[in-house]
Amino acid sequence: MGIAQGRFVIDAHVHNQRHALNWKGRGVQPDYVSLAKFRAESEPYDNSPRLLFDMERYKVDMCVVMAQSGGTDELTAETVKKYPDRFVGKCSGTAYRKKVNRGEVEWSIEGLCKELDELLSTGLFRAGIGEGMPGGNPGRDPNKVPDWGERFADICQIMEVARKHKTTVGWHTGGSSGYAGARGQLGSRAFGEGGNPLLAHDVAAAYPDVPLILTHAGVDGWWGERTYELCLEVAAAHPNVYLETGQWWPELYEKPLRDPNIGIERLLWATDWGAAHPMQWWPGSYPTTYFDQSRKEGIPAHIPDIFGHSLRWMDKLDIPQDDLNLILGGNAVRLYKIEDKVPHTRFFKQFLR
């Protein structure tokens, strides 16, 4: 492969865990509705060999790894211990939620926060909590949107854990159209947290000292820009809010880079590597390409090459290399306090004051 696109490249959103769902053995036709159900019932395996191969090919130095739906914090910890110079971890309290689902313990926000506190205390989850804000009671009715006052009170307890450990928290935004249509995080796409990042205003304002990362920055698959615009509104209002950009096509960078209240320092290259996001292609349209599932084509059996396409998008940004270096790694190094992972100091833009 050619030269790296940055001095020290970090993908801030990666899933190295995968599930062997054995569709044929189950006698079930693969579909996105069953995918979520079967992942929750199965144990994930470590897909790091494929990830490390792609990292080598595309000159990605480090990745922030985290469990996706059905994944485990335990496997994330094992990966970080095995490859401490290549991976840093995020946690979300997966073991506690599995205990609740099995009926071993009764759900409480205090129980979840206790597990998050213990996980962060290990030092294996230096990137914080995420990818999204850990959800509420797994046994709740998914067709009912939680009362925001109650949900905000729970989120505040999660934010207190992050404040104690001086780390970050993720807020999932956007949603691809292939998985389950209008169903999103904690309620419908229209009213749940994933589809309404404006709710993050309350959290960012209440905890200005805790970095809040809007994961996907409104573009988690699909070609729409509505949720992306809402994410920009939140980021412009709060200096502790960061935006993940790995699924942005080049034109989406223009507004945040022009906005004096956002700028280059709060953008993180973060692709969602490992998620089932194949590329969709609209020749002659806008955007010409975008990531999303296709119910017509079905679930991809391959690992979509999101590193390759996202970096091609990045290559179209006509900005100074020192600024590009911040998006591709420097901002993540500062945000996650992982300067010890970088082989040299003074790699990233700074000035004497």
Position 348 in a domain: no
Q: Tell me the C-alpha distance between 68 and 135, whole Å.
A: 13
**Cβ atoms of residues 244 and 131 within 8 Å:** no
Question: Is 27 among the domain residues?
Answer: yes
* Cα–Cα distance for residue pair 143/39, rounded to 1 Å: 20
| Number of compact structural domains in the chain | 1
- Residue 248 falls within a domain, yes or no? yes
Residue 350 to residue 353: CA distance in whole angstroms: 9
- Domain assignment present for 294: yes
φ/ψ of residue 13, rounded to 5: -155, 100
Q: What CATH number is attached to the domain comprising 211? A: 3.20.20.140
Residue at 250 is within a domain: yes
Q: Which residues contact 286 (CB under 8 A, 6 or more apart)?
A: 251
In a domain, 216, yes or no: yes
**Continuous H helices in the chain:** 23-26, 32-41, 48-58, 73-82, 94-101, 109-121, 148-165, 200-206, 226-237, 254-258, 306-314, 321-325, 331-336
Q: Three-state SS for 42? A: coil
Residue 257 lies in a domain: yes
- Give the pLDDT of the chain (353 residues) as one tens digit per residue: 457 799 999 999 999 999 877 777 777 777 777 777 777 777 899 999 999 999 999 999 999 999 988 899 999 999 999 999 999 999 999 999 999 988 999 999 999 999 999 999 999 999 999 999 998 787 777 777 788 999 999 999 999 999 999 999 999 998 777 665 444 454 445 556 877 899 999 999 999 999 999 999 999 988 999 999 999 999 999 999 999 999 999 999 999 999 999 999 999 999 999 987 899 999 999 999 999 988 888 888 899 999 999 999 999 999 999 999 999 999 999 999 999 999 999 999 988 87
Burial zone of 236 (CB within 10 Å; 0-12 exposed, 13-18 middle, 19+ buried):
middle
Q: Which residue range is the domain that position 46 belongs to?
A: 10-341
Amino acid, res. 168? T
Backbone φ and ψ of 318, nearest 5°: -90, 75
For the whole model, what pTM was predicted? 0.94
Cα of first residue to Cα of last residue in the chain, in angstroms, is 39
